[in-house]
Chain A
Amino acid sequence: MSTAATTETKPAPAAIEKIKVKVDGREIEVPRLTADWSGKLTPTTMIQACELAQTEVPHYCWHPKLPVVGNCRMCLVEFGTPAMGPDRKPVMNPDGTPKIAKSPRPAISCATPISPGMEIYTKTPAVKQMREGVLESLLINHPLDCPICDQAGECKLQEYSVDYGQSASRFVEAKVHKPKAVDLGPRILLDAERCILCTRCIRFTRDIAGDDALGIINRGSYNTIATFPGLPFDNNYTLNTVDICPVGALTSKDFRFKMRVWFLKETKSVCTSCATGCNILVSSREEVVQRYTPRENDAVNGPWMCDAGRLNYKWIGREDRLKTVLVSGRKSSWTVALNEISDRLKKAPAGSVAMVASARQTNEELWLLSKLKAKLGATSDSIAREGQADNLLVSADKNPNTNGARLTGICFTEIGSNLPAIAGGIASGKIKTLIVFGEDVTKHGLGADLLGRLETLIVSDILPNETTKLAHYVLPGCAHAEKRGSFTSTKGRVQKFMKAVEPPGDARAEWEYLHDLVHHVTGQNGFVTIEGLFNQMAKEVPAFNGLTWAALGDAGVTVQI
């Protein structure tokens, strides 16, 4: 384990030559080459140069993380290059500036590479007219059913209609009608009428997800996105096509007609379904989590996330959540329970306490537990969750914070290796107090008969299970969407997440009551804010040295593991 936190170590990139171009008369320097969707260096295109110049070029089919096809024509711009004389030397204006030969035709900025001295014009009347023309063409057969479309509010067609659209359609013929609410797969519905045939979904599933499932069938105005007959579109990344669909053609069955997007509060968070730690946005309205969407972080997940992680939010609002503090099965209060637990722990002789923490807990909580562990001389461990990995994002480790549990000293490289020792300790009567956080230990070798021998069983969890039923003290905890904290991903990236909704009932964030408990038992006073707690932890845990809560930023920091 190294002692200093470092940022992502990348092979030093070869210096890329910079060239000067002008965007709407403003000169900027842009690299000649830019990484494309596969990470390969390709010539920088005009749209990328415009992006660097902070000039927005409207586009539908172009996506920075997908191959370029250039079929929507929305990003047409005018441009010019320095004029060359017959002597292959630049022609100069009388004032000494190079003479620009303006191209007689526009070009799609997504697929045209830049060249030195190039001038790009994005605000000319001709460009505006082209955008209006493209938009009008796209709207000819568009059903305009925004009131029933889930994309309304985050629809590029709506946004560009505000900028370049007309208030009335000139089209007097009947619109072409195509199939609506087509079942493409278990999680996706297609509305072919709304589709503008940008092929983003086709390119995503073919090139990124590696499942060539989608294509276009029929001719001309009857072009329709379709799957192969009998083959559903059901890979683990299908819902990303809903994100990248610029219109409402592909919609999520899960989110269908659940809430209009303009009501949603978006909170920066991290997915907890595996150790990859994909960055997400938790969308909620009035304390109800409505959906997860990926949040772009090129160091972790890019703009994607898997369907399994995306749909793993429904347990947060479950009715049977633990909402009350229970002492010996009776409703109690935090003050009573924490005082009683502290008294018992203070009296416990060294070596008589064991703890099973969860690698689903945050770094801060695990660190507070490790302080208790040190004070009580406790044996501790965590529980592994193994699953299937894939070659894109999903990790085989289904715990979001296994590395956090290792770095804070709650478990060791081999996670779960201490469990037999704890079971043996309880059986022999040596261990009399067990602290369980967020795990159902009855499924992991500590059965009801063993737990029954304990003098004190302290359990903190979110949902009821066999262990919480046997507990002397039940402390209701929080889902990650209900508290703040940080996780350490499988690659050692420390990422923080924010609170999206309020916890139900009396439930409190684990770090809050763990902090109280540590204070009562060890007498050490820590920090009552998550920022202070993290910063203190970063000072004391070698792997996190040099980190601060603020420095984690939105994208996180990679540490040596």
Chain B
Amino acid sequence: MLRGSGLRSVKNLASRRFISTSNAQIQYTSLSNGVTIASEINPNATSSTVAAYISAGTRAEHPYNNGIAALTTSILASGYENGVLLSSENTKEVNGIIAQTTNGNVQEAGKVIAKILSNPTAILEKADYASAKTRLSALAESIESNPSSKVLEHLEASAFQGYSLGLPTYGTSESIADLQAEDSARLLEKYLVGSNIVISASGNFDHHALADAVDAALKVEQGVKPVTKTASFLGSEVRMRDDTLPKAYVSIAAQGESLSSPAYYVAKVAAAVFGDFDHHSTIAPYTSAKLASLVQEYHIVDKYTHFSKSFSDAGLWGFNAEISNVAAVDEFTHFILKEWNRLSISISNAEVARGKAAVKTALLRELNSTQAVASDIATKVLLTGYRASIKEALEKVDAVQTADVKAWAQASLWDKDIVISGTGQIEALLDYGRNRNEMAMMRW
């Protein structure tokens, strides 16, 4: 990450370095207090987003103040003022204060963001803490009441149990109930420091004018970016059987790659080799992946997606599925895990080529709004120190070979521990040992 040159005066324009990359159109400015401002100018955008992200999330929490990062951010970033709509984005590792506005009003958005960062205590004191807690509780419960998101939340909780990365993103209704304003103050004191803040923006505006507007109004403490304890993966399972639900919801994952791992894109390609499947789509019978043709004939699964999810120092690689043919859960997990075995043994060039193409367009498709772009820039810069340009990312995907995928699978998937999470009618979900045994075969 870029740093300021160390001149004392925040207002001194000379203390900033302007570095623009030519093809990606991202412009970075580093302020002397350590804050990085990064903008991607998009002449076609109909509106603009300016966002301030801090690296915190549940990784700044423990089980007794779980939810405090999301709660604090949601209080700081809600409402509307002067043509600027505020909202928040909360993940396990970052919290974002997002300002959306019309293209012409970007400087105002920058000022609003700077004002929030400069004096968060005043906003927290004025805010209705109780109703913010009610809102966050409702959000936390909505994750739990949707079986698919519940399964994923508990998958992560089980995989990284004992670490802050395993805590639920929005906390639980029990932990939220105990939160107090002092907890917010304590969080901000440690995490709202210059080197832990990235202001990212995307839209059709002038970067330097935005940087000036932010710089003039921003006053944050300098400080060292807090270090988080590395999370480690634990093979485990969590079964939340509920026969009142209409289907079985199952997710299984192995340890994946971190954001900065050299195998980051290899794991993405490996996940895309199996891809997504939806039984209720007109093209379900024609989908390429061998797994899809195995499962669709007998309707042993309704829907599945494969993911390679990465955090700063850990990752999860696996699938999430919903199955209405509940007696066939064991068949489905058998077929899918046997297909995973093939990654280590007999995956073909054509399958890898298809996976690479899917990853490339998915990377591009994710950045489909100014908000998504701002979020991506800030998250990457905060968690890995830099953001690869799209060109660089596409080149890295292109460079992935079938042998790389095989080598990765042999090292990371073959006979490795897994984490299993299920809810709904999971009577037919076999026990941990049976599924763990499917991660390898006796013949090669």
* Chains A and B belong together in one complex: no
